[in-house]
Amino acid sequence: MDYLFNLQFVLQLAIQYAISTCNLEIRLAIWKIKMQSIGAELCRVCPLFFFKVIVLESSSRFGGWLWSTRRSDGAVFEHGPRGIRPAGAVGHNTLNMVDDLGLAGEILPITHSHAASKNRYLYVNGQLHRMPSGISGLLRRVPPFSRPLLLSVAKEILVKKGVGDDESIHSFVSRRLGKELADIAADSLCRGVFAGDCRKLSMRSCLPLFYNAEQHRGSLLLGLMLGSGTVQTSSRVRKRSVKESWAQWSLSRGVESLPESITNSLQQSGTVQLHREAAVKQISPSASGWKIHLEDGVISADHIISALPAKALSSALPSTWIPLIQELQDISTVTVAVVNLEYDGSILPVTGFGHLVPSSEDRGLLGVVYDSVFFPQHNRPTGQSTRLTVMMGGAWFQEVFGAPEAVTEELLLAKATEIVSRHLGVTIPPSWSRVAIQRDCIPQYYQGHFRRVESMRSFIKKNSLSLSLVGSSYDGVSVNDVIFSGRTAVEELLGSGV
């Protein structure tokens, strides 16, 4: 049984690896080797012995959007996700995985009492405003809001439940908490999390916790107070996160350590093939399952788990599958400019996670993250320094900066440093910088997204296609979400005993 468990663990990790990298060019193919003379009983008792797993990666590195720069002087900079939340079933799943990989000693936790958790800012009307935290902040008027937030929260419990099966985030928040909170808070939140427009994004698909609170309890307040049940804690790391009240965590060598560790684990297992620079050109059905066409050959597979972005998958499928292709093509993505800056000395006028900016203030600027505050361990060890990340574009990239392929890094760097100077009063130039244009990095779940995903999976089931759709295009855009979608795909493919 130990051997069977190890095989299951390896297969699960292989699929989770393809998803956890968050790479828009990762594919996973799985096929079953035909049984020869080992015997039916062995096949029944240990069926995973006959599985072979291949991970196909189009680029030269594994990791995708989990991308960390480690400078020779010890400083670490993130060009994608930087902090991972431990909450909920999806957060627990990731922590269990980290523990299994032996990374527990590298975790950098941020507790709920940390300044980065308590102090979050909005930049409105040319000023930084600290968002209220705790009961006292709800009782008094806090700029930029015109009245105490407690009034909106108390009134919310009396609001009737929505009648439709989905609505935009802006509509939902306006209806339950008021237009001001929708215009400022919800707008800024959606720009910071999804780099998207709250007037288009789906409440049901983007923020299911709040949507379900209304559906099941009739109120956000009641839903969040009563919760949805207790999630079991299993690993030592997960239990530690609960005991110490973690809000976020990273790793000492950056979040890219996670896909690197998974890669090493799979390579050492000897049961999984990892292929870099192996872009999938076409996927076609065959008598035995699938033919996966690469630049330099063809792979046969019984089952495909695709972590391709929706539009990329649509171009690889047979042209006759028009209903599925159309639904895939309707899922949009946005491009984000990520500008990492390092300044000599301590230059921040405030301490906190960072600040977000509503679209009414600056359509091109999404927010600024104060990296040195919540992960000071990533600062260079010698000499005081401050690390910041400026994020720009998103749903407004084309409008503000033009085509992503035409914009220059110099323009984005100049814009980022001007923002830091104007918002934070920094008068010195950065001592180090790096610009990354992350093209099509975040799928946009527009209103009705859940119906689109249901339609795709219904088409797959109706046509008995051995194809699983996973990754950030469908069931959540966070690192936790896409890792969990990989686990779900394994359980559906092999049974819930994985």
Amino acid making up residue 123: Y
Supply the DSSP string of 77-88, one letter for each residue: EESS---B---H
Does 356 reside within a domain? yes
Tens digits of residue pLDDT in 77-120: 999 999 999 999 999 999 999 999 999 999 999 999 999 999 99
Does 221 reside within a domain? no
Torsion over CA: 91, 92, 93, 94 (sign): positive
320 in the same domain as 297: yes
Domain harbouring 344, CATH code: 3.90.660.20
Burial 24-55 (b: 16+ CB within 10 A, else e): bbbbbbbbeeeeeeeeeeeeeeebbebbebbb
Rounded distance between C-alpha atoms, residue 449 and residue 165, angstroms: 11
The two structure tokens encoding residue 457: 């999976």
315 in the same domain as 457: yes
What is the number of other CB atoms lying within 10 angstroms of the CB of residue 175? Answer: 18
Does 267 reside within a domain? yes
311 in the same domain as 457: yes
Assess contact for 460 and 324: CB atoms under 8 A. yes
Rounded distance between C-alpha atoms, residue 129 and residue 142, angstroms: 8
H or E element that contains 414: helix 409-424
Does 461 reside within a domain? yes
Rounded distance between C-alpha atoms, residue 387 and residue 385, angstroms: 7
Last residue of a domain, one of 402, 424, 444: 444
What residues does 273 pair with on adjacent strands?
54
Rounded distance between C-alpha atoms, residue 346 and residue 366, angstroms: 23
User: What φ, ψ does residue 424 adopt, rounded to 5°?
Assistant: -115, 0
Assess contact for 80 and 339: CB atoms under 8 A. no
Does 344 reside within a domain? yes
pLDDT at 157: 86
The two structure tokens encoding residue 160: 């009737």
Burial 370-398 (b: 16+ CB within 10 A, else e): bbbbbbeebbbeeeebbbbbbbbbbbbbe
What is the number of other CB atoms lying within 10 angstroms of the CB of residue 18? Answer: 31
Does 486 reside within a domain? yes
351 in the same domain as 303: no
**What does the chain come to in residues?**
498
Establish how many alpha carbons lie within 13 A of residue 354's alpha carbon, considering only the half-sphere containing its beta carbon: 24
460 in the same domain as 436: no
The 3-state DSSP class for residue 302 equals: coil
Rounded distance between C-alpha atoms, residue 433 and residue 385, angstroms: 13
Assess contact for 350 and 485: CB atoms under 8 A. no
Full domain range(s) for residue 353: 68-85+332-444
pLDDT at 158: 86
Domain harbouring 264, CATH code: 3.50.50.60
pLDDT at 467: 95
The two structure tokens encoding residue 250: 């990273």
Q: Which pTM was predicted?
A: 0.89
355 in the same domain as 310: no
Tens digits of residue pLDDT in 348-364: 999 999 999 999 999 99
What residues does 332 pair with on adjacent strands?
444
Report the number of distinct structural domains present in the chain.
2
What is the number of other CB atoms lying within 10 angstroms of the CB of residue 128? Answer: 16
pLDDT at 51: 73
399 in the same domain as 342: yes
Q: Which residue has the tokens 């130990």?
A: 2
The whole-angstrom distance between residue 362's C-alpha and the CA centroid of its chain comes to: 24
Q: Is 220 left (phi over 0), alpha (psi -120 to 50) or beta?
A: alpha
Establish how many alpha carbons lie within 13 A of residue 189's alpha carbon, considering only the half-sphere containing its beta carbon: 16
Rounded distance between C-alpha atoms, residue 211 and residue 223, angstroms: 9
The 3-state DSSP class for residue 344 equals: strand
464 in the same domain as 417: no
CA-wise closest residue to 21 among 81, 74, 62, 79: 62
360 in the same domain as 261: no
The two structure tokens encoding residue 213: 């609170």
The two structure tokens encoding residue 348: 């921040």
Rounded distance between C-alpha atoms, residue 159 and residue 219, angstroms: 7
Does 233 reside within a domain? no
pLDDT at 189: 96
The two structure tokens encoding residue 71: 């400078």
363 in the same domain as 399: yes
H or E element that contains 152: helix 149-156
- Mapping DSSP onto H, E and C, the string for 420-467 reads HHHHHCCCCCCCEEEEEEEEEEEEECECCHHHHHHHHHHHHHHCCCCE
359 in the same domain as 268: no
pLDDT at 19: 45
Does 433 reside within a domain? yes
pLDDT at 8: 44
Q: Which residue has the tokens 């941020």?
A: 110
Rounded distance between C-alpha atoms, residue 14 and residue 433, angstroms: 35
The 3-state DSSP class for residue 382 equals: coil
Q: Which positions of the chain have pLDDT values less than 70?
A: 1-50, 227-233, 496-498
The two structure tokens encoding residue 178: 């008021």
275 in the same domain as 407: no
